Amino acid sequence: MRQIEVEALAIGGGAIGAGIARDLAMRNLRVVIVERSDWASGTTGRYNGLLHSGSRYSVRDTTVARECIQENVVLRKIMPACIEDTGGYVVATPWDDPAYGDHLIQCCTRAGVPIEEVSVDRVLRDEPYLHRGIRRALRVPDATADSFLATRATIESAREYGAYAWNYHPVVSLLRRNDRIVGAECIDLISGERVVILAVVVVNAAGAWVGEIGALANVRIPLVCSKGSMIATNHRIVNTVVTRLRWPSECDSVLPSHSVSVLGCTDVVVNIPDLVGADAEEISRIGEECAKLVPVTRYLRKLRVWTGVRALYPTESATESTATRLSRSHVIVDHEMTDGVTNLISVVGGKWTTHRLIAEQVSDLVCHKLGIIRPCRTHLEPLPNVGRRRYHRRETPLSRVEFQRLAGSLLCECEMLTQSDVEKALAREDIRTLDDLRRATRLGMGPCQGGFCSYRATGTYHRLRRQPAEESITHLISFLQERWRGIRLVASDDQVRQMRLNELIYRGLLCADHLATAANGAPSGSSRPV
């Protein structure tokens, strides 16, 4: 058993937890952050990738809107390479009331969110696939963001300032002395070793699983879990974030994300954050509603569907089917005030756009509990590797390959990922699986969904990590099955053909299912590794 003593422990390796670790480390505190799986493997890595301007929230919550536009500006400065400056159009389709635009302009103006009227002709020139019947258009400073890249850069920055950052370390118990939390016990899933972390302050930033961590301290955290499902298409059909000019609702946006478009997303209350996925009715609703914005999305090949779970604080009553009426604001719970349990802080709610601000507020409270005064600097210092570059541009990956003549070393053609890119990523010890590699590099996230890159990546993984062949095969099968789970619910027409091709490659040519049987010493089961 290993033991470490620190001033602060952050539980949860999403955007907020990573931001807290970075902020506290920059204030010269001894800090550890632990995550039960991989960085950004929870809600942070399963949202639609929108950097909000705040316009959407201005009609209901001026405070949230102001926070969004404030952090929109800050994140553009400290992590520009994680952001694509797409801009945003809010448009009135034939099903929407154009008069709502006047109300939205008033709300945005009150919240300090830039908004301007633009001509419909200009919008249709910029985005020719939009519905030809749109009747009004407004422009706002929305953008898209790569939450995987941003989270890893934040973790890297925290480490540079001395923080310990351990993924695959689930918390199994909180250590309590009388009414005081004094740390936590984790399990290192790689070595199987028990790890005891003694901390003066423990921060519960577990996202949708914040209630489970709270239960370890015998405290109840009010929580509403809302799942949001999204669909990726095989074409980047818009280059601007497009949303509908109506009261905020479900399935009202189409946005670009690297080489694909994202349609969505839904808003459905669920009982637990695990084992949730989209159902046929949700998928149909996404398709029908998003086609009102961009009609051609009806006919695009749907690559996959995925679901993220939002953690919302129930300050208002939610209906059985939707959490749209709940505030997207965050709540910082000091359990000394609410439950008489000292040195435990929980964070509920919030958005990716405001994660840095939330981390600053939590870190201020931690410093207060420790009796120190050290100002936040996370809004001033760019993140390593992504903070001094320009905005991400959609043509940059292809331009790099062509300019440097790297076509012969491409490992993933869909995402323009080279052999050296993969080797560089695998140099990081905290990448444990091919799915971790996907989050670090976007491996397999393009139109072929891993069909042509999975076996190449497995070979590189096996060579560099020097693992037994059986272990590498297990990683490959797990990666393929995860791709299959997201594809099967939306597969039709050309996507079925792509799936069949993938199956022929891995089952017919490479005999992956037989290799899995040999590797595991048991039948590979009925699931088809595609």
Task: Render pLDDT for 218-270 as a digit per residue (tens, 0 to 9).
Answer: 999 999 999 999 999 999 999 999 999 999 899 999 999 999 999 999 999 99
Is the pLDDT at 15 greater than 50? The verdict is yes
For residue 342, what is the DSSP state?
A: B
For residue 301, what is the DSSP state?
A: P
Q: Are 311 and 504 in contact, with CB atoms under 8 Å apart?
A: no
Of 238, 36, 92, 68, nearest to 142 by C-alpha is: 68
Q: Are 228 and 322 in contact, with CB atoms under 8 Å apart?
A: no
- Per-residue pLDDT tens for 470-516? 889 999 999 999 999 999 999 888 889 988 999 999 988 988 877 76
**Packing angle between helix 15-26 and helix 147-160, nearest 10 degrees?**
20
> CA–CA separation, 390 vs 65, rounded Å?
26
Mean pLDDT in residue range 406-411: 94
Is the pLDDT at 273 greater than 70? The verdict is yes
Of 233, 229, 228, 227, nearest to 294 by C-alpha is: 233
Of 211, 217, 310, nearest to 270 by C-alpha is: 310
Q: Are 16 and 351 in contact, with CB atoms under 8 Å apart?
A: no
Mean pLDDT in residue range 30-45: 97
Q: Degrees (nearest 5) of the Cα angle 379, 87, 133?
A: 155
Q: Degrees (nearest 5) of the Cα angle 91, 89, 256?
A: 120
Residue 349 CB-half CA count within 13 A: 18
Structural domains of the chain, with CATH: 2-43+148-222+328-370 (3.50.50.60), 78-144+224-312 (3.30.9.10), 396-520 (no CATH)
Reported as a pLDDT band with limits 50, 70 and 90, residue 524 is very low
Give phi and psi for 479, each to the nearest 5: -65, -45
State the pLDDT at residue 326. Answer: 63
> CA–CA separation, 205 vs 35, rounded Å?
10
Reported as a pLDDT band with limits 50, 70 and 90, residue 519 is low
Cβ atoms within 10 Å, residue 72: 23
State the pLDDT at residue 327. Answer: 67
Of 163, 153, 206, nearest to 42 by C-alpha is: 206
